[in-house]
Amino acid sequence: MPVKRVPPAEVAILLARGYKYLDVRSIPEFQQGHPQGAYNVPIAHMMPGGRMAPNSDFEAVVAKHFAKDAPVVVGCASGNRSLRAAEMMQALGWTDVVDNSGGMNGWKSAGLPVETAAPGRAYDELK
């Protein structure tokens, strides 16, 4: 079954209904701002020279913090990495995964709330 993709305005409604937001962007991107309440587990890490390397701990860290039946919205910058992560999660058994099709760019454009602090939700604390 394909991953359900929804625009940021609908994501905000899902979050109000109890979904958790999983931001799969790199640590520096997350630190620059993310949806309020977001958890950061990068699908890839930023390497010197700007290239990205897959995060080999992605599945384990996500599993540690999100039950397979937990309602989760996955987001990144534009919707590409998050779709890949949501598809991966679904293939690994997560049953209620939704992709933020507009990513953080769409989130900001929609004027939705952004924060930079994430006590207990930053990747260094989650892993």
Write out the catalytic residue numbers.
76
- Joined together, the tokens standing for residue 6 give 């929804």
For residues 22, 110, 80 and 76, what is the CA-based torsion angle, rounded to 10 degrees? -30
The residue length of the chain stands at: 127
DSSP per-residue letters across 6-59: E-HHHHHHHHHTTPEEEE-S-HHHHHT-EETT-EE--SEEE-GGG-EEE-TTHH
